[in-house]
Amino acid sequence: MLVAAAVCPCPPLLVPEIASGAAGELEAARDACADALGVLAASRPDLLVVVGPEGPAGPAGPAGQDGTGTYPRGSAGSFRGLGVGLGVSLGTTAEGDRAGAAGRGLPQSLAVGAWLLSRTPWADAPVEGLGVGERLARGRCADEGRKLAARAERVALLVLGDGSACRTLKAPGYLDERADGFDAAAARALGAADTAALLALDEHVAYELKAAGRAPWQVLAGAAEGAGLGGRLLYEEAPYGVGYFVAAWS
């Protein structure tokens, strides 16, 4: 059963070593993420799953844009492709996990999640990862969430993903007049822990707006069905023309 969730954005610029001189621009977002992760730690889960966009760095083959990729405890990632020699991992590696953990690297979103977790005092709950394809249909997203919630008596999720990337002329996806409305609806749903509203987010519009968080948020919606969780929106901004949200559910 899902007992808590933290929703965070996942730009690599959250990592100060990557942001370098611009690190201060996302300090408020990092602080909000730390607060949301504190809610996760306080929930004392039996299992923590980090859920984020699979992205181009994920494993080739079955996942693709409309599937999922699983990452066992101890899976490693790095930011070397961004010019920073910083490595991360999903928790500590159990003896039996070493072969699987060495076989694939974490996608960028889960690497950011692993970095966020490394900054938070954490109980010894197993930590795993789930990469979600950008085009995974909402029904399948919800099904994946239900499966996660059923895996242990107390499950917590760290859900990573950004809103639209079309809020300004200089945004990665240029300006799209639909972006403000899409992000406002997502922020309301995340702040209210409104699973129905999250599942109502249009997957095709989300894809056109480059909103990589849509599928992970809908996994969260499936996991939270019937859990009776309340939500708080801790951060809502659009630096660089991209919608970033932080929320805590408990």
In angstroms, rounded to a whole number, what is the distance separating the alpha carbons of residues 190 and 207?
19
**pLDDT, mean of residues 227-247:** 97
Q: Taking 70 as the threshold, does the pLDDT of residue 199 lie above it?
A: yes
Domain 2-249 fold is Protocatechuate 4,5-dioxygenase; Chain B (3.40.830)
Residue 96 has pLDDT above 80, yes or no: no
Which pLDDT score, from 0 to 100, does residue 21 have? 74
- With cut-offs at 50, 70 and 90, classify the pLDDT of residue 123: low
- The pLDDT of residue 220 is 98
Q: Residue ranges per domain, the chain?
A: 2-249
Give the three-state DSSP class for 179. Answer: helix
Nearest to 45 by CA among 199, 137, 158: 158
Question: Which residue matches tokens 């992205």?
Answer: 55
Sort residue 20 into left (φ over 0), alpha (ψ -120 to 50) or beta. left
pLDDT in tens, 21-41: 776 789 999 999 999 999 999
pLDDT at residue number 25:
84
pLDDT tens column, 1-19: 999 999 999 999 999 888 7
With cut-offs at 50, 70 and 90, classify the pLDDT of residue 197.
Answer: very high
Q: Is the dihedral of CA 72, 17, 80, 163 positive or negative?
A: positive
Q: Is the confidence at residue 151, as pLDDT, over 90?
A: yes
Give 127's strand partners. 48
Q: Tell me the percentage of the chain whose pLDDT exceeds 70.
A: 90
